[in-house]
C-alpha cells in the first residue's frame, strides 16, 4: 500500500553502487541537455529564463519520489510551455510580475488536478485522446513554436498565439531585421541541424567509440551556447542590437505558496485541465514505451500522482508547468539510467548551475535559445502521418486534419478540444449501425448463418436477427428501425428472435428500445424472443421489468429457439 | 427521388373521401387542443399570445408537404418553448419588439440547421442523446416550466431560468399574492387535473360511448377557458388585479423575412442547435412509435427536412421554434388521422380562430393558460425513472441525475449539454477495458477456451490472447498493457497470438498499439501473430505497413496457428 503511493521505496532499498554510477552518468548527460532547454522553454512560455531552471530542480526530486517510470526525464517541455503561453496570453496581464504569478498558479492547479485524477484512478480518461489527435496536435504545436521563435532569429518583435497572427506580425516587421542577430541565429540553427543529423556518424567515422559518441553528439546545444556567448561578449554584439538573456538572479529559487486569488484560479481552470491531460498523455506514452523495452511496468494512475507532485513542486519553487519530455527521456534511457535517482542527480546538476553558472550566461543571445527550440520542435513535426492515416482510415484522418488546422489557425486550446470532440463523435458514428443479419439454420447442423450469404433453412413464421455488437444509446434506435423494417417485410411472421451472441452489454436506452419492440410486436401479434444472451447481460435484464413483459422466451441457444418455435406455429 | 423529398406526393394521389373524413375529425379535435396550448406556450416563451397562433398555421402546412409521419402534430411545444425563453433570456434584450425579432431569427436558424442536417443525412447524431438524458431533461424541464407558471396562478411577478431563481423570486413575492387570481388559477388547475384523471371514466359510466368520450375529455381546457373568460368579464376581475391576455391583433400573420443581423445570428447559433436537436429527438421518437404501431415507416433524415421547413415557415409568418408534440400527436393518432392532411386542416382551424376568435379571448386570464401548462407538463415529469434506471444501470443513472440536477440548477442549455457529455464519457469508459482472455485448446476439438475457466491444453512457448471487442483509441493502450503484462508473466514464450474473432474494426490508434506491441515483442525475441481476423479488418491492415513489419503470421483460424506454432519451437 505504502509502496504503491511511494514507488521509490521499492527501488531505494536495493540501490547499489553499479546503479549509482549508471544513474550518475545519465544524469550528467541529461543536465547538459536540460540547461539550454529549460532556459529556452521558459522564454517560449513568456517567462524569465531562470524560471526554466527553477522548474528543473524540485520537480525532478518530487517525481523521483512519486513516479513509477525509471527513466522519464521530467521538466519544462516544448508543447506544455506553448500551452502555458497560450493560457497566460488569454488573461491579458499587464506586467511580467503578474505573468509569473499566473504561471505559478497554473502549475499549482495543474498539479492538484493530476493528483486528484491519480487518486480517483482516472488515468484511463487520457485514452480519450486518440493517437491521430495527439500526433496532429504535436505537429501543429511544433510548427507554431518554430514560427514563434523566428522573431528571435530575425531580431524583431512579433507576438501571436496562432500561425496567422505570427506570420502577419513577422511580415510586418521584416524591414526591422537585425542583421547581426540574423547571422548569429541562422548559423546556430544550421549548426544544430548539422549536429543532430551528422555529428554522431562523423564521430564514429573518426574513430570515437559508440559509448562516447552518443553523449558527445548531445553536447551540440551547449557548444553553440558557449560559442555564441563568447562571440557576443568579444564582439560587443549587444550594442549592435543582439538581444541577450542578461542578468539572472543568482542562487536557488525561494519557496513560496502560490497566489490564491479566486478569479485567477477560475480563469486558469480550463487551461490547467488541458495542460494536465496533454502533458500526462505525452509523458505516459514515452514512459510506457521505455519501461516496456526493459520488460518493466509503469502505473498510469501513480504517474498522475508523480507528475502532479512535480507540478506542485515546480509551483512552490517559482516554476511553471512541467511534464515528462520525450527526447530527454530517450537520452536518459540510452545513457543507461536505471532508477529515478538519475532524475534527482540531474536536479542537483541544475541546482549547481543555478548557483554558479548564471553569471556566465549574461551574454547568451536569445537567438541561440530560439535556434535550439526550432531544431528540437521541428523533429516533432510529422506531416507524413497525415498521408499514412488517410490511407488507413478516413475518419482518423478527419480527426487529425481538424486538430492540425484548428490548432494552427485558432491556437492550441481550441485545436485540441475540437480534435478530441471530432474523434469521439466519429467513433460513435462508426458504431451507430451495428452489424446484424437475418439468419437461418445450416441444414444438418446446429449452426445459423446469414440468409443472404449462405444456403440455409428458414421458416415462414419465425424470423431471426443476429446482432453483432453491444446495444447502447447510439445504436438503439437503429435496432428498432431494423426490426420494424424486417417485420414489415415478413407479413406472416409470428415469432421474432433476437440472437445476441456478441452483445456484451445493453444500456438503459437499448433496454427502452427492446421494450418498445416488445410492445409493438405484441400489437402485431408477433412474439418477441431472445437467444444466446450472455450471463452478465441476462443478470442485468433480470433487474428490470423487461423479462416479465416479454411476450416470448429467452432461449439458451438459437438451436433451442428454432426447435421450440418450429413446432409452436398455429 | 422527388417522392423522397416531397413525401406528400405518395399519399396525396390516392387520397380518398374516407381518409378526408377521418382526417377532418382528427383535425377538429387537435384544433380544440391546440388553441389554448399555442397561446400558453407563446407566453411561456416570453412572447405575445398571438405568436403561438401564428406558429400553428404555416408550420403545419409545411410539415404536411415535407414530413413523413402521418400523425405527427407539429406546433409550439412546452420544452422547446422553455428553451426558446432560455435562449432569448441570454441576450438581455430591452423591448418585447426585440425579443420577438430574436425569436423569429431563432426559428429561422433552427429551421436552416434542421434542413442542413437532413440533407447531409446527419439524423443519426440525434441518437447521441441517450434515453436517460432525454428523460431526465424532460422531467427537469417540466418542473421548471410548472414552477415558472406558478407566478401567473399566484398573480405575482417572478422571473428566472432555473429552479433556484424562480423559487427565490416567488418566495420574495409571496406578500403580493393577488387573491382573485389565486382563486381562479387554483380552481382551473384542480379542474384540469380532475378532467385529465376522472372525466373520461365518468363519461363512460354515465353512458357516453367510447368514441365520443375520448374527444369530449379533451375539451377540458377549452371549457376552463370559456368559464374563466366569462367569469372575468362578468365579475370585472380585471379591475381586481387579474392579469388577462388583452387585445390581440385580429387577422392572419403577415409574411416577412427574418432579421439578418450577424451579431444576433452568432449569439443564437448554439441555442438554435440545441433547440433543433432536442426538438428533433422528441418529435422523431413519437413519430416513430406511432408509425410503427400501424406498421408504417418514417424517414428520420426526411423528418429533419420536414421539421426544418416547419420552422422556416414559422419564422416567415412571425412565429417561434416549433416541433412535433407528444400529447397532441397521440390525440391526433387516437382520433383517427390517416394522413398529414389532418395537420393542414388543423392549420385551417387555427387560421379561422386567428381571424374570428381573437376578440373573444380578450378577457382570458393568464392564470387559466398557466393552469393548462402546469397540468400538461407535470404529466411529462417522471422521477420514478430515476429509480428504475438506478436498478438497471448505475452509469445511466449518473447521466440522468447529472442532467436533472444541472437542468434544474443551471438551466436547460447547460443541463442538456452536460448530460450528453457525461453519458458519452461513461459509455467510452465502459468500453475502455475490453473483455479478453488467455485461451487454450479444448483437447480433442478445434475449440479454444479461457484457460481460467476450462481445462485446456496450453503450450509453454505459445501464448494466445482472445480479444472480444473492436480495438480503438479508448481501449488501445489497455491492450498494450494487457499484452506486456501477460508476456512479462511468461518468460519462456516465443510466440504471441492475438485472436480477433470479435474485432469489427481497428482504428489508427489501435494500429499504432499493434505496431508498438510488434516492435516490443521483437526486442524480446517473441514473434507476434494474429488469428481469425475478419475480412474488412484484414483489408484495412493491408493498406498499412503493419503486415510487412509483423514478425509473425496472420492465421485464418486459431487452430491453424496452434498447429503451425506447436511444431515451430526451437
What 3 state SS string does B485-513 have? HHHHHCCCCCEEEEECCCCCCECHHHHHH
Q: Do B524 and A423 touch (CB under 8 A)?
A: no
Contacts of B165 (CB under 8 A, 6+ apart): B159
Q: Which residues of A touch B435 (CB under 8 A)?
A: 504
> Do B252 and B355 contact (CB within 8 A), yes or no?
yes
Cβ contacts of B472 on chain A, cutoff 8 Å: 130, 427
Low-confidence ranges of chain A (pLDDT < 70): 1, 569-570
Long-range contacts of A386-392 (CB under 8 A, 24+ apart): A386/A136, A388/B544, A388/B545, A389/A132, A389/B508, A391/B543, A391/B544, A392/B508, A392/B511, A392/B540, A392/B543, A392/B544
A3 domain-assigned: no
SS percent in chain A: helix, strand, coil, step 5 = 65, 5, 25
Q: H helices of A155-178, where?
A: 163-173
Among A392, A424, A507, select the one facing B544 at the smallest CB separation. A392
Nearest CA in chain B to A432: B124
- The answer to ipTM > 0.85 is no
Q: Give yes or no: residues A361 and A408 share one domain.
A: yes
Establish if A10 belongs to a structural domain: no
Asked if the Cβ–Cβ distance from B388 to A544 is below 8 Å, we say yes
**Extended beta strands in A443-563, E state:** 448-450, 462-467, 495-499, 527-531, 554-555
Of B436, B448, B515, B525, nearest to B487 by C-alpha is: B525
CA of A250 to nearest chain B CA: how many angstroms apart? 44
Instruction: Determine, for residues B512 and A131 on separate chains, whether the beta-carbon distance falls below 8 Å.
Output: yes
The answer to whether B512 contacts A432, with C-beta atoms less than 8 Å apart, is no
- Chain B residues in contact with A417 by the CB 8 A cut-off are none
- Whether B9 contacts B342, CB under 8 Å: no
Position A3 scores a pLDDT of 75
Distance CA B424, CA B415 (A): 14
- Nearest Cα neighbor of B369 from B195, B212, B221 is B221
* Domain tally, chain A: 2
CA distances from B28 to A73, A445, B35, B290 (A): 77, 60, 11, 20
CB contact under 8 A, B469 and A132: no
Residue B353 Cα, gap to closest chain A Cα (Å): 37
CB contact under 8 A, B424 and A429: no
CB contact under 8 A, A468 and B504: yes
Min Cα distance B549 → chain A (Å) is 15
- Shortest Cα distance, chain A CAs vs residue B373, angstroms: 27
Å from A80 to nearest chain B CA? 22
| Cβ atoms < 10 Å from Cβ of A488 | 14
Q: Is B356 exposed, middle or buried (0-12, 13-18, 19+ CB in 10 A)?
A: exposed
Q: Do B127 and A540 touch (CB under 8 A)?
A: no
At B437, is the secondary structure helix, strand, or coil? strand
On chain B, the residues whose CB falls within 8 A of the CB of A127 are: 432, 473-478
Using the beta-carbon criterion (under 8 Å), do A509 and B130 form an inter-chain contact? yes
Helix, coil or strand: residue B203: helix
Residue B377 and residue B459 share a domain: no
Chain B environment of A484 (Cβ under 8 Å): 292, 295, 297
Residues A417 and A530 grouped into a single domain: no
**For an interface test with B, which of A127, A129, A419, A480 has the most B Cβ atoms less than 10 Å from its Cβ?**
A127
Does B351 lie in the same domain as B449? no
Domain boundary among A395, A425, A455: A425
Residue A1 domain-assigned?
A: no
Contacts of A395 in chain B (CB under 8 A): 507
Chain A residues whose CB is inside 8 A of the B487 CB are 295
State whether A418 and A452 are in the same domain. Answer: no
Pairwise CA distance, residues B481 & B57, whole Å = 61
The per-residue pLDDT for A1 is 65
Record: contact A130-B509, CB cut-off 8 A: yes
Dihedral (C-alpha) B237, B243, B247, B250: value to the nearest 10 degrees?
Answer: -110
Residue that terminates a domain, selected from A404, A425, A446: A425
Contacts of B474 in chain A (CB under 8 A): 127-128, 427
Check CB contact under 8 Å for A128 and B425.
yes
Cα B521 to chain centroid distance, Å, stands at: 48
Question: What is the 3-state composition of chain B as percent helix, strand, coil, each rounded to the nearest 5?
Answer: 65, 5, 25
Last-in-domain residue among A399, A425, A451: A425
Domain for residue B22, yes or no?
yes
**A538, closest residue in chain B (CA to CA):** B392
Q: Looking at the structure, do residues A374 and A402 belong to the same domain, yes or no? A: yes
DSSP designation for B38: H
Cα of B95 to nearest chain A Cα, Å? 33
Does A428 sit within 8 Å of B424, measured CB to CB?
A: yes
Say yes or no for a CB contact (<8 Å) between B293 and A509.
no
A-chain CB neighbours of B549 within 8 Å are none
Is residue A405 within 8 Å of residue A418, measured between CB atoms?
no
Rounded to an integer, what distance in angstroms lies between the CA atom of residue A312 and that of residue B105?
A: 49
Same domain, A335 and A441: no
pLDDT for res B1: 65
Shortest CA distance from B130: residue in chain A: A473
Whether B393 sits inside 8 A of A502 (CB atoms) is: no
Judge: A125–B425 Cβ closer than 8 Å, yes or no: yes
Q: Using CA atoms, how far apart are residues B380 and B72, in angstroms rounded to an integer?
A: 18
| A371 and A516 assigned to the same domain | no
**Least CB–CB distance from B511: residue in A128, A392, A504:** A392
Which range of residues forms the domain containing residue B487?
Answer: 436-566
Domain annotation covers residue B430: no
CA of B189, closest CA in chain A: separation in Å? 32
CB contact under 8 A, A297 and B473: no
The total number of residues shown for chain B amounts to 570
Beta-carbon pairs below 8 A across chains A and B: 156
Is residue B10 one of the residues assigned to a domain? Answer: no
Q: Which residue, among A132, A284, A292, A468, would best test binding to B if mutated, counting the most B CBs under 10 Å from its CB? A: A292
Taking the complete model, does pTM exceed 0.90, yes or no? no
Top residue of B304, B507, B535 to mutate, by most chain A CBs within 10 Å, is: B507
Contacts of B538-545 with CB under 8 Å at 24 or more apart are: B540/A392, B540/A393, B540/B505, B540/B506, B541/B506, B541/B511, B543/A391, B543/A392, B544/A388, B544/A391, B544/A392, B544/B511, B545/A388
- pLDDT tens string, chain B, 570 residues long: the values are 677 778 888 788 888 888 888 898 889 888 888 888 899 999 999 899 999 999 999 999 999 999 999 899 999 999 999 999 999 988 878 888 899 999 999 999 999 999 999 999 888 888 888 889 988 998 999 999 899 899 999 988 877 778 888 899 898 888 889 999 999 999 999 999 998 888 888 888 888 887 777 777 777 888 888 999 999 999 988 888 889 888 888 888 888 889 888 899 999 999 999 999 999 988 988 888 888 777 777 888 899 999 999 999 999 999 999 999 888 888 888 888 889 999 999 999 999 989 888 888 889 999 998 998 898 888 888 888 899 999 999 999 999 999 999 999 988 888 989 999 999 999 998 888 888 889 999 888 888 888 888 888 888 899 999 998 889 999 988 898 899 889 888 888 999 999 998 888 899 999 999 998 999 899 889 999 999 898 889 999 999 999 999 999 999 889 999 999 987 754
| Whether B392 and A540 lie within 8 Å, measured CB to CB | yes
**Cβ A129–B473 below 8 Å, yes or no?**
yes
Contact list in B for residue A423 (CB cut-off 8 A) is: 473
Cβ-proximal residues to B376 (8 Å cutoff; 6+ apart), any chain = B37, B78, B327
Shared domain check, B461 and B344? no
CATH number, domain containing residue B544? 3.30.750.24
The distance between the two most distant Cα atoms of chain B, rounded to a whole number of Å, is: 105
d(CA B474, nearest CA chain A) in Å: 5
Q: Do A507 and B540 touch (CB under 8 A)?
A: no
Nearest CA to CA, how far is A164 from chain B (Å)? 23
SS3 of residue B216 by DSSP: helix
A477, B127: Cβ pair inside 8 Å? yes
Our measurement of the distance from residue A501's CA atom to the centroid of its chain's CA atoms, rounded to an integer in Å, reads: 36
In this structure, the answer to whether residues B264 and B334 fall within a common structural domain is yes
Whether A418 and A476 share a structural domain: no
Residues of chain B with Cβ-Cβ distance to A509 below 8 Å are 130-132, 396
Question: Is B401 a member of any domain?
Answer: no
Question: Strands B448-450 and A462-467, how do they pair?
Answer: unpaired
Q: B163-169 contacts: CB < 8 A, separation 24 or more? A: B163/B408, B163/B409, B164/B409
Q: Do B388 and A124 touch (CB under 8 A)?
A: no
Whether B363 is covered by a domain: the verdict is: yes
Same domain membership, residue B458 and residue B360? no
Closest CA in chain B for residue A520: B293
Amino acid at each position: 500500500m505504502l509502496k504503491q503511493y511511494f514507488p521509490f521505496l521499492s527501488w531505494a532499498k536495493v540501490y547499489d553502487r553499479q546503479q549509482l554510477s549508471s544513474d550518475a552518468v545519465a544524469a550528467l548527460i541529461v543536465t547538459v541537455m536540460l540547461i539550454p532547454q529549460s532556459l529556452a522553454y521558459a522564454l517560449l512560455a513568456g517567462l524569465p529564463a531562470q524560471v526554466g531552471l527553477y522548474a528543473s530542480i524540485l520537480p525532478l526530486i518530487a517525481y523521483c519520489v512519486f513516479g513509477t517510470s525509471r527513466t522519464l526525464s521530467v521538466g519544462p517541455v516544448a508543447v506544455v510551455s506553448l500551452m502555458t503561453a497560450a493560457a497566460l496570453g488569454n488573461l491579458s496581464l499587464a506586467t511580467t510580475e503578474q505573468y509569473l504569478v499566473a504561471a505559478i498558479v497554473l502549475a499549482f492547479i495543474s498539479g492538484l488536478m493530476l493528483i486528484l485524477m491519480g487518486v480517483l484512478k482516472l488515468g484511463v480518461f487520457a485514452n480519450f485522446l486518440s493517437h491521430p489527435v495527439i500526433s496532429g496536435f504535436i505537429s501543429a504545436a511544433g510548427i507554431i513554436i518554430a514560427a514563434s521563435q523566428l522573431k528571435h532569429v530575425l531580431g524583431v518583435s512579433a507576438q501571436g498565439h496562432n500561425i496567422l497572427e505570427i506570420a502577419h506580425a513577422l511580415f510586418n516587421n521584416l524591414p526591422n531585421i537585425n542583421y547581426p542577430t540574423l547571422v548569429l541565429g541562422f548559423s546556430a540553427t544550421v549548426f544544430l541541424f548539422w549536429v543532430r543529423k551528422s555529428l554522431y556518424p562523423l564521430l564514429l567515422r573518426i574513430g570515437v567509440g559508440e559509448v562516447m559518441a552518443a553523449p558527445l553528439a548531445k553536447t551540440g546545444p551547449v557548444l553553440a551556447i558557449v560559442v555564441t556567448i563568447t562571440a557576443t561578449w568579444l564582439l560587443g554584439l549587444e550594442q549592435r542590437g543582439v538581444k541577450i538573456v542578461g542578468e539572472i538572479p543568482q542562487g536557488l529559487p525561494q519557496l513560496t505558496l502560490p497566489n490564491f486569488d479566486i478569479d485567477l484560479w477560475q480563469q486558469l481552470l480550463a487551461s490547467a485541465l488541458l495542460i494536465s491531460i496533454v502533458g500526462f498523455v505525452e509523458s505516459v506514452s514515452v514512459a510506457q514505451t521505455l519501461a516496456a523495452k526493459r520488460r518493466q511496468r509503469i502505473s498510469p494512475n501513480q504517474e498522475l500522482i508523480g507528475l502532479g507532485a512535480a507540478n506542485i513542486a515546480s509551483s512552490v519553487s517559482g516554476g511553471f508547468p512541467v511534464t515528462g519530455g520525450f527526447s530527454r527521456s530517450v537520452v536518459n534511457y540510452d545513457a543507461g539510467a536505471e532508477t529515478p535517482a538519475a532524475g534527482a542527480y540531474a536536479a542537483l546538476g541544475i541546482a549547481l548551475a543555478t548557483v554558479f553558472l548564471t553569471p556566465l550566461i549574461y551574454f547568451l543571445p536569445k537567438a541561440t535559445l530560439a535556434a535550439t527550440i526550432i531544431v528540437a520542435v521541428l523533429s516533432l513535426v510529422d506531416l507524413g502521418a497525415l498521408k499514412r492515416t488517410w490511407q488507413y482510415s478516413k475518419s482518423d484522418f478527419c480527426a487529425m486534419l481538424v486538430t492540425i488546422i484548428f490548432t494552427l489557425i485558432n491556437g492550441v486550446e481550441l485545436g485540441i478540444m475540437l480534435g478530441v470532440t471530432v474523434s469521439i463523435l466519429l467513433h460513435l458514428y462508426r458504431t451507430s449501425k451495428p452489424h446484424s443479419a437475418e439468419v437461418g439454420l445450416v441444414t444438418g447442423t446446429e449452426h445459423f448463418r446469414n440468409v443472404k450469404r449462405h444456403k440455409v433453412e428458414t421458416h415462414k413464421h419465425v424470423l431471426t436477427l443476429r446482432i453483432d455488437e453491444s446495444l447502447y444509446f447510439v445504436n438503439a434506435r437503429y435496432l428498432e428501425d431494423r426490426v420494424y423494417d424486417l417485420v414489415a417485410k415478413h407479413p406472416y411472421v409470428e415469432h421474432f428472435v433476437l440472437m445476441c451472441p456478441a452483445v456484451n452489454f445493453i444500456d438503459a436506452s437499448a433496454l427502452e428500445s427492446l421494450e418498445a419492440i416488445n410492445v409493438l410486436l405484441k400489437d402485431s401479434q408477433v412474439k418477441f424472443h431472445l437467444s444466446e444472451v450472455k450471463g452478465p447481460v441476462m443478470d442485468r435484464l433480470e433487474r428490470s421489468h423487461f423479462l416479465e413483459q416479454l411476450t416470448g422466451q429467452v432461449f439458451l441457444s438459437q438451436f433451442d429457439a428454432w426447435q421450440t418455435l418450429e413446432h409452436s406455429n398455429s
